[in-house]
Structure 1
Amino acid sequence: MEYVVRLTRTLQTAAALTLLLAATACGSSGSGSDTATGLNPPDLKAQSELGRTEGRVNIIAWAGYVEDGSNDPKADWVTDFQKQTGCQVHSKVAASSDEMVKLMKTGEYDTVSASGDASLRLIASGDAAPVNTGLVPNYKDVFDDLKMQAWNSVKGKAYGIPHGRGANLLMYNTEKVRPAPTSWSAVFDDAARYKGHVTAYDSPIYIADAALYLKATRPELKIKDPYALDQKQFDAAVALLKKQNADVGEYWGDYLQEVSAFKSGDSLVGTTWQVIVNLAASEGAKVKAFVPKEGATGWSDTWMISAKAKHPNCAYKWLDWIVSPKVNAQVAEYFGEAPANAKACEQTSDKGFCATYHAADTGYWKRVAFWNTPIPQCLDGRTDVTCVPYAKWVQAWTEIKG
């Protein structure tokens, strides 16, 4: 199996430096959008029926999501789409969620593969239209626990089609880290044992990983959602990360960077993604990875349609195509993530792929707190305090790294 990731998730989160719209909010993982706080998007209507295709679709996507064979001859799910629909694909790779939001505001793009921090902004601003899932036949086979979630729906109205998901795991060197860890304490309270060989994800969103750990280990802080931190909770997470900094040998952003560090022994324990584990192990690194007992953070992407789409019928055709079993399987294997379509698991070239990525393991995903963007209105529903917005997370991350 060849694992190829053209763009790291760092670019999806670390560059998201602008403040959210004041109205934007996201619910916690698995909570459903009805619990969202302060989000009151424009009353837009979903398209009621498909018309004649326009012959073109303009797409904004993460690298690796819209492949036409030019990067890798074996990765091409655009050519057949064009032949079958007559919709010529014109795609642009975005380097960050901020860039996706900016490009969607131009009205020049029809659809986008938005991560959670971008999707809620696009909904709140009226740049993303509600999606009529009845016009996307393959939606019926999407895993139920990806449908109508806080990052892709609001007040019972769907705003997109789920694409895939992944968890942020704890990886360790099986020869040097003994006994085998069971907790995130290996990179926090016990990090000094591996001083200079601890690695951490280089992004302000990593503050949520510290908050998730504190949620379990310091109940007096009363953390409910790692993305909804009041000042006291936030200060505790930042203090933990500043302490950790003394033991961190490297903050990684590029997945190949982390593979190399674990192969050489420069890194012995730290946060990772499943695709990195697979690649590192295939190249001889003695590593294992898992979701620790406290749970983990993670990510999920959504295909959305612009409220100003000039080619909405082709856009709907693309949404149905990209989430169809065969294509969703191709994308998932190419990028390294769990597919959204349950039937995609029958189409993967590696028949153990979905088991490796826990695609159908509902219990596994209940332990994952999917990335959201913090805002002053606390995402956990509290109204008696103000939560620390993402801009402050960005400032704090600079201080944490020293």
Structure 2
Amino acid sequence: MQRTAALPAVRTALAVAVAGAVIALSACGSSDSSGGSAGGFKAPDIPMAKKLGDKEGAVNILAWPGYAEDGSNDPATDWVTPFEKDTGCQATVKYFGSSDEALNLMKSGDYDVVSASGDATLRLIAGGYVQPVNTDLLTNYADIQPFLKNTAYNSVGGQMYGMPQGWGANLLTYNPDVVKPAPTSWADMFDASSPYQGKVSAYDSPIYIADAALVLMKTTPDLKITNPYALDKKQFDAAVALLKKQRGIVGEYWSDYAAQQQAFEKGDDVLGTSWQVIVNLVEADKKPIQGVVPDEGSTGWSDTWMINSKTKHVNCAYAWLDYIGGPQGNAAAAYYFGEAPANAKACDTIATVDKDPTFCDTFHAADAAYAKKIWYWTTPISQCLDGRTNVKCVPYSEWAKAWTEIKG
């Protein structure tokens, strides 16, 4: 997909449909909205590169659409070819449409690197499909925003498993000409008596259950939810019940950003969960829209480039991580895709090369306080991610089953 005007393109869908059992981990640490890892589970004993040697001449890249553009979709959009020229590593790129698909493809061992979202990273690590990354071998790692390092979804016990790519928040979005007063809480999305019944849009994925849990963290403190991805049976049932009540006011469950953009522009949607890039597109068409992160925070995504534990091209794999995490590669991908870049210097590149000095301000790229409000997608597992050991939490496979029931 190519960009139009000065606005970024995004993946057509981020829906996650995890089929099958979620890998059970031996012990899990807690996470908070800043992503800090604590405790950590015991990862498989996979060797880590100690030094780099001669490049092998090839690298097989598994990527979300928009993360590794080589000119085949748009001849004017190509940051893979410069990488090939600089390193001698010929890149073969395959795009995937969901985290579950990426996980299955990585199991084959045919791909050297993958751009993994937070709902897949722990499964990749626990399954032994990716290797720990020696960040001392990545010259651009020092410029990665600190709040994206050593998080609960990309590290274990302080050991990084990849190079951060970019991140973004799921926004509470509304039409200010219709929705009055302006919503200030995600609870406004779950009001069964909402005057905007039928014009509310929600994200179409089992991971959206975490959004309901986030609401319950504030509205029902007796449930004692401290992490929206770590829900015991009682907490999970409460979140599911809240979503079933919300179903009566939802007019659309969306996964295609263009569909939600059009719905807001036509007035079919006036309140919903959305992304910054969608807000930008609607504003560019001069239609009314506002997007905020409420005081209780938000869910969101943060993607990480990881290296296959079976790679035969480890030197070219490290070269790709260093390039795509560097100021040029990271700027190109983040700007095209529509997200905050991970590399702090990428913002200067976007301002000069793409002549968009406001991009990083719009996406809060260097705003650690803003990033701290986000609960990045993390795979729910039976060992509670909040550190509890006296109960079991509901794994993602059960989230997927419940999501089918919620939508009816």
TM-score band by shorter chain is over 0.9
AA aligned opposite 1:296: S
Query: What CA distance in whole angstroms lies between the structure 2 residues aligned with 1:194 and 1:315?
Result: 49
Q: Please name the residue that 2:283 is paired with.
A: 281
Q: Please name the residue that 1:16 is paired with.
A: 18
Structure 1 residue 400 and structure 2 residue 406: aligned?
yes
Measure how far apart 1:31 and its partner are: 4.6
Query: What CA distance in whole angstroms lies between the structure 2 residues aligned with 1:259 and 1:89?
Result: 33
2:363 pairs with 357, 364, 384, which one? 357
Check conservation: 1:185, 1:191, Cα contact below 8 A.
Answer: no
Measure how far apart 1:280 and its partner are: 1.3
Query: What CA distance in whole angstroms lies between the structure 1 residues aligned with 2:239 and 2:193?
Result: 15
The superposition leaves residues 276-321 of structure 1 with CA deviations (integer Å, 9 ceiling, x where unpaired) of 1101111232001010121100111111111111111011110111
Structure 1 residue 34 and structure 2 residue 68: aligned?
no
Alignment map for 1:214-363 (pairs within 5 Å): 214-348=216-350, 349=354, 350-363=356-369
Check conservation: 1:68, 1:75, Cα contact below 8 A.
Answer: yes
Query: What CA distance in whole angstroms lies between the structure 2 residues aligned with 1:8 and 1:83?
Result: 31
Measure how far apart 1:104 and its partner are: 1.4
Structure 1's unaligned 5+ residue stretches are none
Relative distance call for 1:161 and 1:199 in structure 2 (3 A) is same
Query: What CA distance in whole angstroms lies between the structure 2 residues aligned with 1:383 and 1:337?
Result: 36
AA aligned opposite 1:215: M
Measure how far apart 1:18 and its partner are: 2.6
1:63 pairs with 62, 65, 68, which one? 65
Query: What CA distance in whole angstroms lies between the structure 2 residues aligned with 1:50 and 1:180?
Result: 54
Check conservation: 2:35, 2:147, Cα contact below 8 A.
Answer: no
AA aligned opposite 2:149: K
Query: What CA distance in whole angstroms lies between the structure 2 residues aligned with 1:209 and 1:26?
Result: 21
Query: What CA distance in whole angstroms lies between the structure 1 residues aligned with 2:173 and 2:75?
Result: 32
* SS of residue matched to 1:18: coil
TM-score (norm 1): 0.96
Check conservation: 2:25, 2:381, Cα contact below 8 A.
Answer: no
Q: Please name the residue that 1:196 is paired with.
A: 198
Query: What CA distance in whole angstroms lies between the structure 1 residues aligned with 2:113 and 2:18?
Result: 20
Check conservation: 1:375, 1:390, Cα contact below 8 A.
Answer: yes
1:371 pairs with 364, 377, 381, which one? 377
The superposition leaves residues 101-159 of structure 1 with CA deviations (integer Å, 9 ceiling, x where unpaired) of 22112111111111112211111121111111111100000000101111111112111
Measure how far apart 1:375 and its partner are: 1.1
Query: What CA distance in whole angstroms lies between the structure 1 residues aligned with 2:202 and 2:43?
Result: 36
Measure how far apart 1:96 and its partner are: 1.6
What do you get for the CA RMSD once the two structures are aligned?
A: 1.3
Q: State the identity %.
A: 58
1:390 pairs with 396, 402, 408, which one? 396
Query: What CA distance in whole angstroms lies between the structure 1 residues aligned with 2:396 and 2:12?
Result: 23
Alignment map for 1:104-123 (pairs within 5 Å): 104-123=106-125
AA aligned opposite 2:371: W
When structure 1 is superposed on structure 2, of 338-347 and 19-28 the one drifting more is 19-28
Check conservation: 1:26, 1:372, Cα contact below 8 A.
Answer: no
Q: Please name the residue that 1:208 is paired with.
A: 210
Measure how far apart 1:30 and its partner are: 2.9
The superposition leaves residues 50-83 of structure 1 with CA deviations (integer Å, 9 ceiling, x where unpaired) of 1111110011111111101121233210111111
The superposition leaves residues 261-285 of structure 1 with CA deviations (integer Å, 9 ceiling, x where unpaired) of 0011010000001111101111232
Q: Please name the residue that 1:173 is paired with.
A: 175
Query: What CA distance in whole angstroms lies between the structure 2 residues aligned with 1:306 and 1:380?
Result: 28
1:43 pairs with 23, 32, 45, which one? 45
Q: Please name the residue that 1:140 is paired with.
A: 142
AA aligned opposite 1:32: G
AA aligned opposite 2:126: A
The superposition leaves residues 159-199 of structure 1 with CA deviations (integer Å, 9 ceiling, x where unpaired) of 11111001000110010001111111221126621011111
Query: What CA distance in whole angstroms lies between the structure 2 residues aligned with 1:191 and 1:301?
Result: 37
TM-score (norm 2): 0.95
Query: What CA distance in whole angstroms lies between the structure 2 residues aligned with 1:177 and 1:31?
Result: 32
Query: What CA distance in whole angstroms lies between the structure 1 residues aligned with 2:37 and 2:172?
Result: 29
Relative distance call for 1:130 and 1:162 in structure 2 (3 A) is same
Query: What CA distance in whole angstroms lies between the structure 2 residues aligned with 1:357 and 1:298?
Result: 13
Q: Please name the residue that 2:3 is paired with.
A: none
Check conservation: 2:35, 2:375, Cα contact below 8 A.
Answer: no
Query: What CA distance in whole angstroms lies between the structure 2 residues aligned with 1:336 and 1:172?
Result: 20
Number of equivalences: 397
Check conservation: 1:208, 1:297, Cα contact below 8 A.
Answer: yes
* SS of residue matched to 1:333: helix
When structure 1 is superposed on structure 2, of 223-232 and 18-27 the one drifting more is 18-27
Query: What CA distance in whole angstroms lies between the structure 2 residues aligned with 1:251 and 1:218?
Result: 25
Relative distance call for 1:299 and 1:353 in structure 2 (3 A) is same
Check conservation: 2:192, 2:249, Cα contact below 8 A.
Answer: no
AA aligned opposite 2:189: V
AA aligned opposite 2:363: Y
